């Protein structure tokens, strides 16, 4: 994607501000993938990024899209602190760095090799990584509930059962993840075998092209991609909210995004974890407040978490941002994982996570 000169300048300024927050950790881990590398990483380093806060500042990584939206205010405050010595409200710089990436696999790789200490990731990917690293990460908080929608150019879909025999375009980057398993579960619970739906896996750009260039069509998209399509083509309507369909089954909440941390970082920097969670909760609160919607949308666009501020302003209210920790988080995720285990056990690593996965839930 081509970037404008102004965005390049902003990126250069952001990199300059990162340098002012203390020297970066230099990983000394020589481990390969798996539990060894997930337990080594940046905390065991030759550098010192603790500054005056009394802990090694974590490297944060978040996903573009709804899972990353809640961190936008935190990232802006940290950039301000790097430039001015403290956050706008006088707080400390608590992050060594922050990065936005596009895919769960990038986040998983960064957590495994030590390029990230704390990250936003899909809930099924978190459980899968926990299994693959033999407990190398823990989940800190649920940050995003259901964000999936069935959109239609036409008026033939009123219920999940109406998808039987139809072609449904789905984003290829969600195949094997939460969206596919949620869709299959909802279809089956509404008497439709997934094999009875012609699911075509396309890129979000291809899905948009299919619907905007045709007189009819049906797709499943998460926000903000769903929001962007609704903005682009007034003939497209929101047919179903999969969150509402999930709740109609009595399945409870639909936790799709979460914040995780490397176990070794948690063990060596408990104050760092608590400082992060306090700041992150404040960020979620700010981003969720309707009074801040315009400014929040500008922040989301600034960090390229969504394509534009216009899309962000429409998408944020549909992102279902939340902040759930401790025992409530444990119960919410355990109930969800039990469903995924029945639908696709490999999506969560082949088994339900142990209690040690859930930070602060004891």
pLDDT at 27 over 60: no
pLDDT at 20 over 60: no
**CA separation for the pair 200, 59 (Å, rounded):** 37
* Integer angstrom CA distances of residue 116 from 14, 37, 138, 177: 18, 12, 13, 21
pLDDT at 49: 58
Q: Are strands 321-324 and 137-144 parallel, antiparallel or unpaired?
A: antiparallel
User: Which run of H or of E encompasses 219?
Assistant: strand 217-222
Say which residue, 227 or 280, is predicted with more confidence: 280
Cβ 45 vs Cβ 282: under 8 Å: no
pLDDT at 34 over 80: no
**CA separation for the pair 346, 137 (Å, rounded):** 18
Q: Is 75 exposed, middle or buried (0-12, 13-18, 19+ CB in 10 A)?
A: buried
State both tokens at 50: 């603790």
* Domain boundary assignment for the chain: 5-22+29-39+47-145+255-357, 148-248
pLDDT at 360: 93
Cβ 283 vs Cβ 143: under 8 Å: no
**For 197-201, 203-207, 319-323, which range has the lowest pLDDT when averaged over its residues?**
203-207
- Domains 5-22+29-39+47-145+255-357 and 148-248 belong to one CATH topology: yes
State the average pLDDT for the chain.
86
What is the CATH code of the structural domain delimited by 5-22+29-39+47-145+255-357?
A: 3.40.190.10
State both tokens at 195: 């094999």
Angle subtended by helix axes 104-113 and 123-132, to nearest 10: 30
**CA separation for the pair 118, 318 (Å, rounded):** 25
Residue count (the chain): 362
Cβ 79 vs Cβ 17: under 8 Å: yes
**CA separation for the pair 143, 325 (Å, rounded):** 9
* Cβ neighbours of residue 2 closer than 8 Å, sequence gap 6 or more: none
Please compute the mean of the pLDDT values over residues 118-125 and round it to a whole number: 95
State both tokens at 52: 């005056």
By three-state DSSP, how is residue 230 classified?
helix
Categorize the per-residue pLDDT at 19 as very low, low, confident or very high, splitting at 50, 70 and 90: very low
81-108 residue pLDDT tens: 999 999 999 989 999 999 999 888 999 9
Q: In what order do the strands lie in the sheet with 257-262?
A: 97-101, 59-63, 118-122, 257-262, 137-144, 321-324
226-276 residue pLDDT tens: 998 998 999 999 999 999 999 999 888 899 999 999 999 999 999 999 999
pLDDT at 50 over 90: no
**CA separation for the pair 240, 163 (Å, rounded):** 11
Other residues' Cβ atoms within 10 Å of the Cβ of residue 274: 12
What is the CATH code of the structural domain delimited by 148-248?
A: 3.40.190.10
Cβ 159 vs Cβ 322: under 8 Å: no
Cβ 201 vs Cβ 170: under 8 Å: yes
């Amino acid at each position: 994607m081509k970037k404008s000169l102004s965005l390049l300048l902003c990126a250069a300024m952001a990199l300059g501000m990162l340098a002012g927050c203390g020297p970066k950790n230099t990983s000394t881990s020589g481990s390969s993938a798996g539990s060894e590398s997930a337990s080594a990483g940046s905390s065991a380093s030759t550098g010192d990024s603790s500054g005056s806060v009394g802990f090694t500042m974590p490297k944060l990584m978040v996903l573009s899209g709804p899972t990353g939206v809640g961190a936008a205010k935190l990232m802006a405050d940290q950039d301000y602190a790097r430039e001015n010595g403290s956050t706008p409200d006088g707080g400390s710089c608590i992050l060594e760095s922050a990065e936005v990436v596009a895919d769960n696999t990038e986040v998983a790789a960064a957590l495994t090799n030590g390029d990230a200490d704390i990250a936003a990731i899909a809930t099924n990917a978190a459980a899968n990584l926990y299994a693959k690293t033999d407990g190398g990460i823990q989940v800190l908080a649920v940050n995003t509930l259901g964000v999936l929608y069935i959109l239609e150019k036409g008026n033939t879909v009123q219920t999940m059962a109406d998808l039987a025999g139809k072609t449904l375009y789905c984003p290829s980057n969600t195949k094997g993840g939460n969206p596919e398993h949620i869709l299959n579960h909802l279809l089956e619970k509404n008497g439709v075998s997934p094999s009875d739906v012609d699911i075509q896996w396309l890129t979000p750009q291809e899905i948009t092209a299919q619907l905007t260039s045709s007189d009819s069509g049906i797709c499943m998209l998460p926000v903000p991609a769903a929001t962007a399509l609704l903005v682009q083509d007034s003939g497209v309507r929101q047919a179903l909210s999969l969150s509402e369909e999930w709740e109609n089954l009595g399945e409870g909440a639909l936790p799709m995004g979460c914040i995780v941390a490397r176990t070794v970082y948690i063990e060596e920097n408990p104050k760092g974890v608590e400082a992060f969670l306090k700041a992150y909760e404040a960020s979620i609160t700010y981003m969720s407040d309707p009074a801040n919607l315009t400014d929040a949308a500008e922040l989301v666009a600034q960090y390229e978490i969504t394509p534009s501020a216009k899309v962000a302003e429409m998408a944020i209210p549909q992102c279902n941002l939340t902040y759930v920790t401790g025992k409530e988080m444990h119960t919410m995720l355990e109930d969800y994982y039990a469903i995924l285990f029945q639908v696709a056990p490999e999506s969560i690593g082949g088994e339900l996570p142990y209690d040690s996965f859930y930070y602060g839930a004891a």
